[in-house]
Every structure is written in structure tokens, then in C-alpha cells.
Chain A
Amino acid sequence: MRGYPRDDGRKGIRNVIAVAYLVECAHHVAREIVAPYRDAAHLIGFPGCFPNAYAQRMLTRLCTHPNVGGVLLVSLGCESFDRHALSEAIRQSGRPVQTLVIQRDGGTRATIEAGHRAIQMMRSEIADTPIVGMDLSELVVGTVCGGSDGTSGLTGNPAVGCAFDLLVDAGAVCVFEETGELIGCEDLMAARAATPELAREIRASVDKAAAYYATLGFGSFAAGNAEGGLTTIEEKSLGAYAKSGQSPISGLIKPGDVPPRGGLYLMDVVPDGEVRFGFPNISDNAEIVEMMASGAHLTLFVTGRGSVVGSALAPVIKIAANPDMYERLEDDMDVNAGRIISKGATVEEVGRAILDLTVRVAGGHPTKSEELGHTEFILTYKSFEPLGPACLPV
């Protein structure tokens, strides 16, 4: 494996330019700036005009993500997002950064042209970023599942759990999440916590998720989950939980917290306090974005019904849980875990195949979604309290 060294000691497995719009009103201009440079530049951003500490923190973490070599900020000019603080944080991370302000720089056409010049300059500036060796212990891997069905918990999720165990043994950071999709697993997870205090924090995070979703009136459960044979949120949860493998749980983090050392971490994605701003994560990419904000270099995405998404900034490895879906969507799938059902492969065989592919993708091999140009991204309003001291025991 090899990586791009960054000033904070982390290494990137990609070296992309992030183009970030700071309000929806700047989205079109930012998209047009990226359009001719799709391989070199990825579009991210925040649509809201009201200030939000979570969004500020998330974009700060994402613009200083190890896979990012340089940043172009695109502001309308009058939005509440603090572009000055963001730009300063990027500058301090040692990355080239430039801010375009549409109202100052002459409107749509002039800003797009200025953006193209900025990308060309930045591209040559980061072209000579050194490449150094990278060890598995320096890798941060997230996992999500989306479009789950009755096969997810039998094939793809346990296989990712096996890959996670191998990665944790090698010293990597592994992050699993969606406390709202772990409702019903609280006792099982608490028993794996590194300390009794962490076990209490894990239980509290699932209680919070259950109360939050109960207030909203819907669980984290889509209509397609039921068509695929899943009946209740707790059934979906038990299947999803298999992604975490067997390692002890080293800590509980919130979006944007970077795990301090190798191990398995649970991410609490449900906002703190009263129910505000709607559903915690409105679709799968919101979860991938939060994993990236916590430093994930890549994401292992298990899907039963067949999600086709990728992500901006960090590669997504798609693992097909359902063998019939794999036949239909092979062009979108990196791994066929469905062969555990259809061809009698073992969970461990597929888990090792996922680990091997993870190493190759970290070394530069493109995933299916990267080849197809998928760079989905979504960031919406949330609010969090800082982590309690018991969440990251030494």
C-alpha cells in the first residue's frame, strides 16, 4: 500500500481537490467548476443558509480529510456559513485553498471561469505530492449497509464482520454505525464494550436512537427492506450488527471525532437533545459522509436490494449480499457475497476477499463506483454535544 502524507501525520489513499459550495445558492456554480475535471475534483457542500456548528465542523473535517490534496470554496457571499474560519483551518492543515465569492467575483460565468483556472493551478500544485509507503495500521475503514434485505444479515454483513476482525487485528481503525439500525442489539454490544462505563454509553446511545425515531414515527426502515423479507427494525438491526465482527468495542464516537488508535468503534449518528431538523440521516450517503468526517479512507457498503452509490472523496467498495441482485447489477458490485448462499462459499472466504480488495483499493485500484463516476454527497442539519469522557477509554 502507498499513501499521500499530510501535515497532521495521516496519509491519504487518494489525492483529490474538494470543491465545496457553502450554501445551495452556490451549488450550480460549484458543479459547473467541477464538471470538466471529474477525476481530479469532487463536489461537496452544505445547502443551508442558517448557521450550524455541526455542518461547520463536518466541512472542516472533510476539507482536511487525508484523501484531499487541495480545496476550492465557493460562496455566494451573503450566507451564514463561516467561510473565513473554514479557509483558515484548511490553510493551517498545509493544503492549498482558494475561496471564490460569486457576489464579489462577477457572478455565475466569471466565477465558473475563475474556478476552472483555480483547479488547473491547484492540480499542478498537488501533482508532485510525494507518495510514501502505508501500513494497514494507518487505515481507517467505515462500513454501512443500505438497501438491506433478508440476505444482508446472512452473507454480506457477516463477511464484512470477518474483514473487520482481520483489519482490527492488523491495527486498523474500523468504524460501524447507525445506532438507529442497532435498535435491539444494545445488550449484545454492551457486552463487547472495553469498559463498563463505555457499555453504559453504548446503551444510552441506542436508547436515544429508539426515542428519537419513535418521536419521528418511522424507524430507519425503508419499504424495500420489507419487500426483501425484513419485517421489523430489530430484525434489520440484528443483520446489520453482524458487520461489526467479533472484536471488542474500543470506543463510541460522534461524526467528526477521529478515533485515537486502532480498534473497533461505534459511531453515534443520532443528534443530541430534543428532536430537531428531522430524520438523523436521510439516506445512505449521509452516513458515508459522517464516516469520512471521522477519517474513513474508504467505506465497505453491503447491499441486498442493490444500491449503486459511491461517494465523493473516499472510495466505496460495494458488497452484494443477494446473489440474484448480483446477477442483475454486476457492473455496480465489487464483491459477490451472495455466493455464500448460492455457491456454498464460506463467510471467511468472502471476508478475506473483502480484505484483499480493501488493500488493493487503498493502493489505488479503482472501485466500480469510482469507474462509473459516482461521487454522491449529502450533508444536512444536526446538533451534537461533545463526547463524554467514558466514550474513549484509554
Chain B
Amino acid sequence: MTDKRLLLISPADNVFVLRGVVEAGETIALEQGVTRVPARLGLGHKIARHAIGRGQEIVKYGAPIGSATSDIAAGSHVHVHNVKSDYTPTFALTASSEEVPL
């Protein structure tokens, strides 16, 4: 049984969405095995449901939302550092150290 903090939107998805914040060091139960989260993950962020190879599509809502730019291990954070849009590139800011992330 997967962790209750994980939401699988569509059976075709290869990512889970987090229903709540997961703190650094906590463990999460995936379908196959348990993974330890190295850094805090916010509500609404995604982790890999299983291993995703570089160049493979990321699937959420049962539809492609971009492609992996590196190999992604099961349970890893899936975000702008390892996914690119297949349409237009994503613009993101690096947070300043004095701002606590929401």
C-alpha cells in the first residue's frame, strides 16, 4: 500500500502528487519499496512512481507533461531540474536564502 500522502491522478501516470508537505529525512512508501526523501518537498510537488529513463515522457493526468532530461529513480523529486517542456522552456527563480519557502 502506498503512502496516504501520495496521490495517483490517473492509472497511466508515472508520477505521484504530494497531498501534503514531506520533510527532509522522512520515508515514503511507494508501490515497490520505501524511499527516504533527502530534501523537503512541498504540497503539490511530484515524485517518480517508478524509474523513468532520460528522454522518456512524464505522464500526469494521463497525459504527457514534458520529458525527463536525466534518469530519474523511483521516489525522486520530479521537477524543473530533471524535466523539460516539449513546448516552451520553463522560467523559474532561485529563492534567496532569507526567504522561507511556503
Contacts and interface: CB of A to CB of B under 8 A. Distances in A.
Interface of A: 149-151, 153-154, 183-184, 188, 210, 213-214, 217-219, 221-223, 226-235, 238-239, 304-305, 322, 324-325, 341
Contact of A210 (B65, B83, B87, B91): B87
Contacts of B93: 223, 226-227
Contact of A229 (B44, B58, B64): B44
B89 A219 contact: yes
A150 B44 contact: yes
A178 B3 CA distance: 35
Given A150-B44, A238-B60, A238-B65, A233 B88 contact: yes
A221 B87 CA distance: 12
Contacts of A226: 79-80, 90-93
Interface of B: 7, 9, 17-20, 42-46, 58, 60-61, 63-66, 78-80, 83-93, 95, 101-102
A305 B84 CA distance: 22
A154 B46 contact: no
A232 B84 contact: yes
B5 to A, nearest CB: 10
A297 B8 CA distance: 37
B61 A153 contact: yes
A235 B87 contact: no
Given A150-B42, A226-B79, A227-B93, 14 more contacts: A149-B43, A188-B63, A213-B88, A226-B90, A229-B18, A229-B43, A229-B45, A230-B44, A234-B63, A234-B65, A234-B86, A234-B87, A235-B66, A341-B19
A119 B46 CA distance: 53
A231 B46 contact: yes
A288 to B, nearest CB: 23
B40 to A, nearest CB: 12
A379 to B, nearest CB: 25
A231 B91 CA distance: 9
Contacts of A213: 87-88
Contacts of B102: 227, 305, 324-325
A219 B85 contact: yes
Contacts of A227: 42, 92-93, 95, 101-102
Contacts of B84: 232
Which of B20, B42, B65, B86 has the most chain A CB atoms closer than 10 A to its own CB?
B65
B17 A154 contact: yes
B65 A184 contact: yes
Nearest to A236: B65
A183 B79 contact: no
A219 B90 contact: yes
Contacts of B101: 227
Given A150-B17, A151-B44, A210 B63 contact: no
B90 A238 contact: no
Contacts of B66: 231-232, 234-235
A184 B17 contact: no
Contacts of A238: 60-61, 63, 65
